[in-house]
A and B are shown apart, each in its own frame.
Chain A
């Protein structure tokens, strides 16, 4: 099966700042592969452990992402493409670019994405991509139940129930944290792919003219948490009574 995995690099933790242009400033923070994209890659490798075929990793980013792309290859991806971005695109524009990039690599049977990136958190990329491709999409997949050349049967973990979906290919999946942990790259593959050449194209070379439709108007950090309150009282019983009164007054109880 030919599978494309969309992979994004994100800051390891959320101790980011906001710069003068209201952009996220993650300088000095270690970057890693987006957690859900790791599960996306694992899902693709898991499917092809059975069927064989190509798993192509495609990223829209900078050359600083090459290490994570090579790591994905060491995990088992067979091919990769880095689309170097020259501007800040919104999710819609990114989905336009990735649609062109996917066509550039051929016609896959499945495209798998993480359910959201842990930096922007929009969760809109996979559905938008499916719309651009004109394919079916299934979101919040946490388990690949079975796969064939024409269908996938997957489980979606929803808030109160899980749903089993049989989908006709081609399709776009967005995966959440699944039951199968992402595999570690073996050292033989680390050695093979640590310096691998990764094909790179620019947005212009893909012949696409992305149109960002949403604009971040403002960005502010969340308000600081209010400091707590220590319940006063003469002894423990009085303190407990005062606490209960307070919890009732605030409708916690």
Chain B
């Protein structure tokens, strides 16, 4: 059955055709190779091997308009809305998480952040080529000694005339070895804690900036994850995104975009787990009947359906709010929490349905399980999302604190204007 049918309260014909296009792209360009790429990432770690296939693939995604999907045409984008971004992420992760990760960091964390906080010059210089897919963006917040506690970051940015001098290290950076541009955070005033953090756009070719790949990851092995090291990197003041001291707020709004893509992708992963399970449950017989006739197998599949449909509605609600220009931090973190935890549970059930075959990479479900685990950690851990939801409910956390720059509401005419 078509699990994506009857969402036309949110989606229109454009989204339907988009879904078909992305699905065909992922199924034709990636699916036939993904087991080999995933194995290669596990055997050799990342680096040159990964880059040989990931670069041409990203170039193709750029030419089709995927990488600027929700950006206005005048900034090089495809002029579609924020719900289209969700559909893109669902369909990419339905095939493999590494594809959705490209969308998450390049579009969600980097481009949308420049779109929200950047001045016109920064949008022309950085956003436009990124939306056109000519340059690839990444995002650096996490450090070896700070993750959820982002305010504890150790990277510094010291003002020196028309430049800042950046020092520090960022880790768990998706596309660290691939990206051309990095949105990174560093302390301009360490004494001020969160209020002393500022945000900068760095270019790979800036002297003092280097990257390295991470090895031995549990999942997303077909993708590139690494670290970036900043040693006296001179960054022009013009590359500061937002005001000095606004970095923490910028980082949090970036996560409103990034978590949205993670949530949408996780729905695609649940769907992939479900589809694989449905197929296998019809083929595999035990005790004289297809295993889909056994009630406990049915239960696992029905739970996947429930989690997927709930999650999809949550994601689309957040996307609808983004389109309307409403603050959606609460809804986005809720969707991200539900969808990622559910994707892990669903992939686990899918492995169980596949029995011993699920324990081998002869079937895709073990890859789904490994890939899904990261989403429960990155872009806000499960535990952080739990605390946030309780705090919203208790009234300890403001739903929509004032922001100097909001993510612009989607306006079809403005977005489609040349």
Contacts and interface: CB of A to CB of B under 8 A. Distances in A.
Given A30-B2, A71-B20, A191-B80, A184 B64 contact: yes
Residue of B2, B24, B69 ringed by the most chain A CB atoms within 10 A: B24
Contacts of A184: 21, 24-25, 64
Contacts of A195: 12-14
B18 A190 contact: yes
Contacts of B73: 188
B65 interface: yes
B78 A187 contact: yes
Interface in A161-201: 181, 184-188, 190-191, 193-195
A187 B18 contact: yes
B66 interface: yes
A194 B84 CA distance: 13
B22 to A, nearest CB: 9
A67 interface: yes
Contacts of B18: 187, 190
B95 to A, nearest CB: 14
Interface residues of A, number: 17
Interface in A200-247: none
B24 A187 contact: no
A156 interface: no
Contact of B14 (A181, A186, A190): A190
A47 interface: no
Contacts of A30: 2
Interface in B50-104: 63-66, 69, 73, 78-80, 84
Contact of A71 (B17, B25, B66, B80): B17
A194 B17 contact: yes
B160 interface: no
A188 B78 contact: yes
Interface string B23-49: 011001000000000000000000000
Contact of A194 (B13, B24, B28, B63): B13
Residue of B16, B25, B64, B69 ringed by the most chain A CB atoms within 10 A: B64
A181 B416 contact: no
A79 to B, nearest CB: 18
Contacts of B80: 187, 191
A195 B15 CA distance: 11
A28 B84 CA distance: 26
A70 interface: yes
Contacts of B69: 187
Contacts of A67: 13, 16-17
A220 B79 CA distance: 50
A240 B212 CA distance: 55
A74 interface: yes
A188 B2 contact: no
Contacts of A187: 18, 21, 64-66, 69, 78, 80, 84
B21 A190 contact: yes
A71 B16 CA distance: 10
A14 B136 CA distance: 42
Contacts of A74: 17, 21
A67 B14 CA distance: 10
Nearest to A195: B13
A190 B63 CA distance: 13
B128 to A, nearest CB: 15
A198 B25 CA distance: 25
A188 B79 contact: yes
Nearest to B63: A186
A54 B21 CA distance: 23
B1 to A, nearest CB: 8
Interface in A51-94: 67, 70-71, 74
B14 A185 contact: no
A185 B21 contact: yes
Contacts of A185: 17, 21, 64
A188 B17 contact: no
B6 to A, nearest CB: 15
A206 B78 CA distance: 38
Nearest to B24: A184
Given A30-B2, A181-B28, A188 B65 contact: yes
Interface in A22-40: 28, 30
A188 B78 CA distance: 5
Interface string B105-141: 0000000000000000000000000000000000000
17 contacts: A71-B17, A71-B21, A184-B21, A184-B24, A185-B17, A185-B21, A186-B63, A186-B64, A186-B65, A187-B65, A188-B65, A188-B79, A190-B78, A191-B78, A191-B80, A191-B416, A194-B16
Across the A-B interface, the 4 shortest Cβ-Cβ residue pairs? A187-B65, A187-B78, A194-B14, A194-B13
Given A184-B21, A188-B73, 13 more contacts: A28-B1, A67-B13, A70-B17, A71-B17, A71-B21, A184-B25, A185-B64, A186-B63, A187-B18, A187-B84, A190-B78, A194-B16, A195-B14
